[in-house]
A and B are shown apart, each in its own frame.
Chain A
């Protein structure tokens, strides 16, 4: 059954789907959406409520929302297992996935969209979010324990925007949350992650363009 992904090169949420499919060894067709020039009919039909990427189409049936897509990928292609084995550990993975979804991107966005004093406040909030996630990692190799897993995919994908937040927020992830920086280095060594991430310099340029569009610079 064919697999197609509606994606956008800079989308950290798209990265989640790329990494998950790569981890499972699933081949798929990727369709790049032009989010500024005009979204495709397929995107608008597949995701009429939110009109967002990524969308996974499995045998033409759409699966929406990146975390939801990763759960779907894990359940549909069983090997290797991305979610942990025990019910409790799974609930922890779901909890932190929910936390990351609610907090990280928006806190980061407040940094690069912020003006004047807003930037400092946004930076503090972002660092606070990272510190909580660093606490969740504890002394484990990965969020998944000994193995790279579900929660690692959910979080590492957002890191392609970290250099952007560091630039506009005036901080360094390595200084604020060294354990997270170390975990990131480990994840980037993984081929599935390295080949799925957009170039962080290009992301910075892209955000620079968006700031101009929003009249911030």
Chain B
């Protein structure tokens, strides 16, 4: 089943592409990363993702799979070696899906709003970001049940869904110390969890380095709004 070629289309700095990289690393899948600029709607991008025209797209053999979280679930389904990404219990799975959707529908749009806001409005949005992050801290307490990750002893679906943004959270703080989201005084468990990801054997090589992100961001500064999903 998993012997055909695997290509991942997208830019390495994208947190959405990063989710797929984390999942592929967890399953030790051989893949080729094909750098693709999401702002140039190339013929190839339109061919593999005609509906949304966004990256990442995973092409397994000749079959394209789109939307980062859907790709992660596909990887979990298609490669049964290695650790399970989603939990096995249906209720735990439902909980994981709910919070992953919260991250995409609530948390990330707030981050983007904060990045694009003018100085006066930024502080107000920052407060909303912190509120959302506080909900995620509570979720972590319930879901991890005292263990190292959302997934328990091993990294799992929610660790990937949120972990892919950690590089950007650190970057935000690097650019302006007033905007510290991973704050050990406010969300101590998530602050520790984020640190842990950078040394976890399964995903450490996939984690985004804030310094490298700064370099890429400078390149993309002039571009219109982010077009990855």
Residues of the A chain whose Cβ atoms lie less than 8 Å from the Cβ of B93 = 71-72, 75
Q: Indicate which residue in A65, A75, A88 contacts B74 across the interface (CB closer than 8 Å).
A: A88
Contact (Cβ within 8 A) B102 A91: no
How distant is A3 from chain B, measured CB to nearest CB, in Å? 13
Q: Tell me whether A61 and B70 are in contact in the complex, defined as CB-CB below 8 angstroms, given that A68-B98, A71-B97, A91-B65 are known contacts.
A: no
Does A95 count as interface, using CB distance less than 8 angstroms?
yes
What 1/0 mask marks residues of chain B from 38 to 61 whose CB sits below 8 Å from any chain A CB?
Answer: 000000000000010000000010
Is A90 positioned at the interface, with any CB of B under 8 Å from its CB? Answer: yes
Instruction: Decide: A87 and B74 in contact? CB cutoff 8 A.
Output: yes
Give A88 to B77 CA distance when docked, in angstroms. Answer: 9
Q: Is the CB of A132 within 8 A of B51?
A: yes
Compute the total of residue contacts between A and B using a CB distance below 8 Å.
Answer: 55
Instruction: Provide the bound-state CA to CA distance between A95 and B97, in Å.
Output: 14
A64 to B60 Cα, complex, angstroms: 32
Which residues of chain A are near B1, meaning CB under 8 Å? Answer: 87
Residue A171 lies at the interface, judged by CB distance under 8 Å to chain B: no
> A95-B66, A98-B67 given as contacts; is B74 within 8 A of A68 (CB)?
no
Contact digits for A158-177, partner B, Cβ 8 Å, 1 yes 0 no: 00000000000000000000
Within 8 A of B (CB), among A52-77: 58, 61, 63-65, 68-69, 71-72, 75-76
- Flag whether B101 is at the interface (Cβ < 8 A): yes
CA distance A75 to B88 in the complex (A): 10
Are A95 and B70 CB-contacts (below 8 A) given A63-B91, A90-B77?
Answer: yes
Q: Which of B55-95 contact A (CB under 8 A)?
A: 60, 63, 65-67, 70-71, 73-74, 77-78, 90-91, 93-94
| A contact face: mostly helix, strand, loop, or mixed | helix
Given known contacts A71-B93, A72-B91, A98-B70, is B98 in contact with A91 (CB within 8 Å)? no
Report yes or no: B98 in contact with A64, Cβ–Cβ below 8 A.
Answer: yes
Q: CB-defined interface of A35-64 with B at 8 Å, one 1/0 digit per residue?
A: 000000000000001000000001001011
Complex alpha-carbon distance, A118 and B91, angstroms: 42
Q: Residue on B with the closest CB to A88?
A: B63
**Which B residues from 74 to 128 make CB contacts under 8 A with A?**
74, 77-78, 90-91, 93-94, 97-98, 101-102
- Whether B67 pairs with A87 at a CB distance below 8 angstroms is no
Q: How far is the CB of A63 from chain B (nearest CB, A)?
A: 5
CB distance B51 to A72 under 8 Å? no
For the residues of B in contact with A, the DSSP-based class is helix
Residues from chain A with a CB closer than 8 A to the CB of B174 are none
Q: In the complex, what distance in Å separates the CA atom of A5 from the CA atom of B179? A: 41
B70 A91 Cβ-Cβ under 8 A: yes
Kindly provide the distance from the CB of B104 to the nearest chain A CB, expressed in whole angstroms: 10
Give the docked Cα–Cα distance between A65 and B102 (Å): 11
What chain B residues lie within 8 Å of A206 (beta carbons)?
none
Q: Which residues of A contact B65 (CB under 8 A)?
A: 88, 91, 95
Nearest CB in chain A to that of B2: its residue: A87
Determine whether A188 belongs to the interface, using a CB cutoff of 8 Å to chain B.
Answer: no
Pairwise interchain contact A72-B90, C-beta atoms closer than 8 A: yes
- Interface assignment of B135: CB less than 8 Å from any CB of chain A: yes
| CB pair A94 B73 closer than 8 Å | yes
User: Which residues of A lie under 8 Å from residue B77 when comparing CB positions?
Assistant: 87, 90-91
A65 CB → nearest B CB, Å = 6
Interface residues of B (CB under 8 A from A): 1, 51, 60, 63, 65-67, 70-71, 73-74, 77-78, 90-91, 93-94, 97-98, 101-102, 135
Spell out A's residues near B (CB within 8 Å). 49, 58, 61, 63-65, 68-69, 71-72, 75-76, 87-88, 90-91, 94-95, 98-99, 132
A-B contact sample (17 more), CB < 8 A, given A65-B97, A91-B71: A49-B135, A63-B91, A64-B98, A68-B94, A68-B97, A68-B98, A68-B101, A72-B93, A75-B93, A87-B78, A90-B73, A90-B77, A91-B77, A94-B70, A95-B67, A98-B67, A132-B51
Q: What are the 3 closest A-B residue pairs judged by CB atoms, nearest first?
A: A87-B77, A75-B90, A91-B74
